[in-house]
Structure 1
Amino acid sequence: MGDVISVVVTGAGAPGIAGTIYSLNNNPDDMKFRIISTDVKSDPVGRYLASEFYTIPPPEDKEYIRCIKGIATKENARVIIPQTTREIVLLSQHLEEFREIDVSVMVSDYSSLKRANDKYLIIKECEKAEVPYPEYFLIDNENDFLSALDNLGYPDKKVIVKPRFSSGLRGLRIISNETLSMKEFLEEKPTGLNIDLDSILKIFRNGPFPEILVTEYLPGDEYSVDVFRNANGTVAIPRNRKDIRSGISFDTEIELRDDIIKYSVKLGESLDLKYCFGFQFKMDENNVPRILESNPRIQGTMVASTYAGFNMIYYSVKEALGNSVEISDIEICDNTHIKRYWGAIAIKDANYSGKI
């Protein structure tokens, strides 16, 4: 594997861009990559971490696919590595077009992504695969919304609402009847997730009522699971999200819980996802992990699994290049810890100058 392989990495402004590039450049086979990054914004941090950079239209633009194909052709790229939720379904619908120009796209098939990106269908998939999930209601009007709250024990219990289709924390709210104590007001940073019933009803009455998933509130620890799946099997690496800020793991620790591993393997197989992807679980009051959502792409802190001993970002690229990855005799270093901090890069005369 002595040749330098050109790859296109989208989402150059995504939180995980540095981790993705690190995983590519620090792989166990010493494969050399030339990284071309792209983003809808013209000056993301990933612009300065790659060999080349292109500004591209958003996936909703009819020119998006043509633009990505043009970049891949111009740069002789072998693999497209998408990092954003908005792109993956569209790219999965054009896989044959990319094959015609000898480019692999590191995404699962369209039918798998359609289910994995749908917060309602992912729960239905859990029902089928016997993976624990929270009590839920799918609603699209105010009467059903209020009925769902009542069935879930509100106002005595907190309730979660989130759009059926969204990514990250977009649209997620915790409906609570609790009031802040003086200690909480003075000492805790606001998360922006908590909302009272009157406030969310005002939002819903301000336009067409959206399709909303209403679920029970899960009070325990939250886990992200980095998953790799190919024809040889599945590797699932859970990590406890000890500190979450704006949806990003700032403190995460590998915790090889057998139950979460089992459920992640079952769900990955049921959805027929491939390459690397992720699930999120949260513990209920009995410490049972219940599904939150699926991330059928590279996760923002997936580099944690690279440090723990299994570089699934690189192995996914290797698979996309047509090289089968053996997953026997894998040793994962439990309790591997990743802590984010507020680093930065310096730019002089539009060129990368250093980092802190």
Structure 2
Amino acid sequence: MDTVRVLITGAGAPGIRGTLYSLKSNWDNRKITTIGVDMKGEVVGKYLCDRFYQVPPASSEEFIPTLLDICEREEVDVVLPQVTAELYPLARYKEDFEKIGTKVAVSGYEAIELANSKKELMKIAKKVGVPYPEFYVVRTWDELESSAEKLGFPFVVKPPVASGMRGFRIVYKNINRKEAFFKEKPDSSKVTMEELHNILGEEFPELLAMEYLPGREYSVDVLSSVDNVHVVVPRRRDTIRTGITFVGTVEKRDDLIEFSERLTLKIGLEYATGLQFKEDEEGIPKVIESNPRIQGTMVLSTVAGVNVIYGAVKLALGEELPEFRVRWGTRLLRFWGGVGVVDGEVFEI
């Protein structure tokens, strides 16, 4: 089987090691040459990928021309994006990449817009019968206070479009800051209404005020074509730190599988994508987010027998997929590691 050359964006992303592991540990035993790119020059992917290039940010007019030049020079077969902001330009210019023989494993532009908007995601969930949290769109402090009365404390605020935990806050009626000072690690996600008012003021860009969900949280990995969901793998997020799963378990949840299939097909997502759900007080999982890209801990699905990341490469190349068998109960425990660089030598630790 021919060698495949894959360009991976966001080579400094937390999940880069898992993405590379998934590509190298593919079920075809195929040789994969990896070309990493990142807007920063000194990132871990620089030392883990076979090649590395520093590129302009996705907002730059030079981003796409630079990637096209790299793809042509390196004879790249498939582009795998890992950064949310890069999805839009890559989707818009997919045909330009195809002209030089490079496939871009990314959903269509409209699907990305829908998936990245939490407000639109909630509307789609309502249409297809998937549970979602109660929410209100707010643009002024008066509207936020009115929403708080309806939701009760605690409740959540977040921007309609954001990546990671940017803009995410859990709003409490009262917080014992002295007790938290001595017993908890610093956590900027917890605020009172007064503290939030000091941050936002009377008017602000559109926000969502949402129901707080106290139950277990799940990430769901999905491999799909525009009209066909090939496999769905729910992952329970047992321990989360700064938005990253540190302990996770692959769990067979028929409800999450069905909900994810409905949402994926309605949005029109393709390749390796993901959804996030959180349970309410009654244990009902409600959708809270969609990630139309490789998720940070997607490697757990690889270990469980479903290599979604390599599957995206296969789909981009127009190759057939096998019948997947999930090893339910597979767990991942993340630890701190790194790359040491001494006089040009690289050591993984």
Q: TM-score with structure 2 length normalisation?
A: 0.96
Q: C-alpha separation between the residues in 2 aligned to 1:249 and 1:233?
A: 24
The corresponding residue for 2:30 is: 31
1:218 maps to what in 2?
213
Over 3 Å counting, the alpha-carbon distance change for 1:53 and 1:181 in structure 2 is: closer
What corresponds to 1:202 in structure 2?
A: 198
Shift of 1:188: 3.0
1:143-182 superposed matches below 5 A: 143-153=142-152, 157-180=153-176
Deviates more, 1:223-232 or 1:269-278: 223-232
C-alpha displacement at 1:331, in angstroms?
Answer: 1.5
Q: Which residue of 2 aligns with 1:347?
A: 341
1:189 Cα deviation from its structure 2 partner: 2.2
Secondary structure in 1 matching 2:120: helix
Q: Which amino acid aligns with 1:346?
A: G
CA distance in 1, matches of 2:179, 2:248: 27
Letter in 1 for 2:348: K
CA contact (8 A) 1:6 1:77 kept: yes
1:309 alignment partner, SS class: coil
1:282-321 equivalence runs, <5 A: 282-321=278-317
Are residue 252 (structure 1) and residue 243 (structure 2) matched? no
* CA–CA separation in structure 2 for the residues paired with 1:244 and 1:232: 31
Which residue is 2:258 aligned to?
A: 262
**Aligned: 1:275 with 2:274:** no
CA distance in 2, matches of 1:297, 1:136: 25
State the match for 2:236 in structure 1.
240
Q: Deviation at 1:178?
A: 3.3
Aligned residue for 2:37, secondary structure, equals strand
Match of 1:67 in 2: 66
By how many angstroms is 1:187 displaced?
A: 3.4
Residue 262 of structure 1: how far off its partner (Å): 1.0
Match of 2:129 in 1: 130
Q: Secondary structure at the match of 2:239?
A: strand
> Which SS does the other structure have where 1:210 is aligned?
strand
State the one-letter code of the partner of 1:106: A
Percent of counterpart pairs with the same letter? 41
Q: Which amino acid aligns with 2:159?
A: P
Moved more, 14-23 or 226-235: 226-235
1:288-346 Cα deviation digits (max 9, x unpaired): 000110011000000000000010100110111121324x4x32111111111111211
Query: 1:140 offset after TM fit, Å?
Result: 1.4
Partner residue in 2 for 1:102: 101
Q: How far apart are residue 350 of structure 1 and its match?
A: 3.6
Output the amino acid matched with 1:219: P
Determine the C-alpha separation between the residues in 2 that align with 1:67 and 1:181. 48
Q: TM-score, normalised by structure 1?
A: 0.95
For 1:17-46, what per-residue CA distance to the aligned partner results, in whole angstroms no more than 9, with x for missing partners?
000000000011011111010001001001
Cα 1:158–1:101 change in 2 (3 A) is same
2:331 is aligned to 337
* AA at the equivalent of 1:84: V
Structure 2: state its 5+ residue gaps. none
Decide whether the 8 Å contact of 2:217 with 2:279 is kept in 1. Answer: yes
1:182 deviates by 7.0
Q: Distance in 1 between matches of 2:343 and 2:9?
A: 24
SS at structure 1 position matched to 2:17: helix
For residues 320 and 63 of structure 2, what CA distance do their matches in structure 1 show?
30
Letter in 2 for 1:227: V
Count of aligned positions: 348
What is the DSSP-based 3-state SS (H/G/I as helix, E as strand, rest coil) of the residue aligned with 1:58?
coil
